[in-house]
Amino acid sequence: GAGVSQSPSNKVTEKGKDVELRCDPISGHTALYWYRQSLGQGLEFLIYFQGNSAPDKSGLPSDRFSAERTGGSVSTLTIQRTQQEDSAVYLCASSLLPGGPIADTQYFGPGTRLTVL
Amino acid sequence: AQRVTQPEKLLSVFKGAPVELKCNYSYSGSPELFWYVQYSRQRLQLLLRHISRESIKGFTADLNKGETSFHLKKPFAQEEDSAMYYCALSGSTSGTYKYIFGTGTRLKVLA
């Protein structure tokens, strides 16, 4: 694939419903990152994966948020019982490797805009 | 605390004027520093990284370890430079890898 892809591009949901956001990283990239981009809040780190494991989950805002990655490729970010404050653009990025100035340049997807009514 | 600080949320300059976007960091190890840019309706993308000592689209950034700064500069701003700019660092301390972004600065270049 040419780059990181994310689906859906837009998601509107009602408060209290669960949502799943998908990320397809660049083939061969072992590291995958999730961020949240809110107006006035900049880029908020959520979680990153090295392969299928997530060594750093410190950015997840609450236990309603979870993420998994299977086969060292596709990742899913799940938000349970969505709240209005979850409304944001969720960005996914991948890098060849974490660590190292060349290898860990991040390539971003187009994002998923989540709106919770 | 490990953090990246971009003190200006919005910076407006006139076309042809010099521009400097400030970035300061706090990190216990030796981080790698990056600038990312997001143009309107486009993806966030790497602009430059300190290790390469490169100039991209006329922008340069010098890592000042004494002042823990990595300010982004361009001598003559162009309208097409209008975008959101994020400073970021990556590094590993105590076996934990971190990639930290600043809150971003929106640059508006006025005609």
pLDDT at position B60, please? Answer: 94
Instruction: Report, in this order, helix, strand and coil percent for chain A, each rounded to 5.
Output: 5, 50, 45
Is B45 close to A108, i.e. CB distance below 8 A?
yes
pLDDT score for B100: 87
**Number of helices and strands in chain B (H, E):** 0, 11
Across B53-70, average pLDDT: 90
Q: Say whether B104 and A109 touch across the interface (CB within 8 A).
A: no
Question: What's the 3-state SS for A44-95?
Answer: EEEEEEECCEEEECCCCCCCCEEEEECCCCCEEEEECCCCHHHCEEEEEEEE
pLDDT band at residue A99 under the 50/70/90 scheme: low
Q: Which of A41, A91, A98 sits opposite B44 (nearest CB)?
A: A91
Query: Is residue B82 exposed (0-12), middle (13-18) or buried (19+ Cβ within 10 Å)?
Result: middle
The contact set of A with B (CB < 8 A) is 3, 33, 35, 40-43, 45, 48, 50, 55-56, 91, 93, 98-102, 104-111
Cα dihedral A87→A98→A54→B44 (10° resolution):
10
**SS3 of residue B50 by DSSP:** helix
Closest residue on chain B to A6 (Cα): B43
Chain A residues inside the 8 Å CB shell of B92? 99
Q: How confident is the model at residue A36 (pLDDT cuts 50, 70, 90)?
A: very high
